[in-house]
Amino acid sequence: MPEMDVKTIDMPENDTPLAPIVSWYNLARQRANAPNLQLEAHWLGISIPRLRNIIDVSRFDDTQIELLDKYSIELSVAARISQISDKWESMLTEEYLDELSNSPYKLTDIWLTRKGDSVDTNDIWNVFIKEDYCGKAYQARLAKFGKAKPRSFEYMVQDILRKAASGQALSQKQTNAIFQAINQERDSEAFSWTSERLRSHCPKSVELVENWDGI
């Protein structure tokens, strides 16, 4: 490629595909020759967070970038994958990227992949909130059991789910009560926390419940 003044080259504005972004940066950084990240970002006319993402993505080789582009993985998402190179073998695959590309919670999925077996109930609860799993489970329990009587086990479960769905802050004791209910009802089959209806609305939550070892 003939040498050009980087100021005359338009930086790709979109976050995908990645290949032209990395190509632009490889030329631009040679021209900038900046002593630090702040000056480089200023000279290139981009924000420091975006520059960091581009630098992370530039760690991938051409074949890996081509695979990421095949599934239209955005710059910020690809950067997160780049940061956990010990998981590349499982993440840079057709199967994983296909699933990730269709997920509405890509960064959450990557974060859970990064945590692996260390995922705990607090992590799972955060996903419940993101997907409104508690709200959907509350509606499902109302449909199955009706409005519960005060001071009953079902009343407690419905009350906690309703509060969580409305955005109220819950105590650790209250969230633990939901996980205890999941545990008990998984054995008794009194209520399915992994029903197809719940799965259709909250796929990641249901997957986590299925893979959770219990308390």
Question: pLDDT of 173-189, one tens digit each?
Answer: 999 999 999 988 987 88
Query: How many CB atoms sit inside 10 A of residue 164's CB?
Result: 23
Whole-number pLDDT of residue 193: 96
Query: What is the percent of the chain where pLDDT is above 70?
Result: 94
Whether 160 is in a domain gets the answer: yes
Decide which of 94, 117, 140 is a domain's last residue: 117
Same domain, yes or no: 104 and 170: no
Decide which of 117, 140, 163 is a domain's last residue: 117
Same domain, yes or no: 57 and 87: yes
pTM reported for the whole predicted model: 0.65
Same domain, yes or no: 197 and 141: yes
Whole-number pLDDT of residue 212: 84
Decide which of 67, 99, 117 is a domain's last residue: 117
Whole-number pLDDT of residue 117: 65
Same domain, yes or no: 185 and 151: yes
pLDDT of 57-76, one tens digit each? 999 999 999 999 999 999 99
- Domains contained in the chain, number: 2
Whether 76 is in a domain gets the answer: yes
Same domain, yes or no: 16 and 102: yes
Same domain, yes or no: 89 and 126: no
The boundaries of the domain holding residue 205 are: 120-211
Whole-number pLDDT of residue 215: 58
